Amino acid sequence: MFHPITIPFGAVMLHNVVKLKPGVDSEDVEMAIGEMCNVVKNTYGNEGGGFIGGQVFEHAGFVSEQGSFDPTRKSDDHIVIITYWQSFEQHEKSHADHIFKEKFSQLAEYCSETYELGYKMLWQGSAEE
């Protein structure tokens, strides 16, 4: 469950921002996210399903003064769910499935807003050893 993932070049990445309602924190949604991620991994994590791997991040509140045009910009509490897929079409097919929709709707009850943006990979690399 908590091990490194390898992302093949050419994969697509979906960046899902889950903004939490006031008074809701990451502990409140931990179970819903875990169940949803488990469904994705176990149901669509094959050649036909196209799921490669994913990561979940909680906004920690810090803003980079070096990498931001406006370092005073703040953000609402949110969680980011990053998933990697063989294709955007496979992602869309999985998320249209009633199994996924049921789990995502449970998470959405805790959210004021969700949106998901797709990206195609242009470069990847790692530090030289």
Which residue segments constitute the domains of the chain, with CATH numbers given? 12-61+76-120 (3.30.70.100)
- Band of pLDDT at residue 1, cut at 50, 70 and 90: low
Over residues 35-64, mean pLDDT: 90
Would you say residue 71 has pLDDT above 70? no
The residue assigned the tokens 């949106």 is 115
Would you say residue 92 has pLDDT above 80? yes
DSSP string across 41-103: HHHH-STTT-EEEEEEEE--S---SSS-S-TT----SEEEEEEEES-HHHHHHHHHSHHHHHH
Query: What does the mean pLDDT of the chain come to?
Result: 90
The SS3 call for residue 37 is helix
User: Which two three-digit tokens encode residue 126?
Assistant: 């790692």
Would you say residue 105 has pLDDT above 90? yes
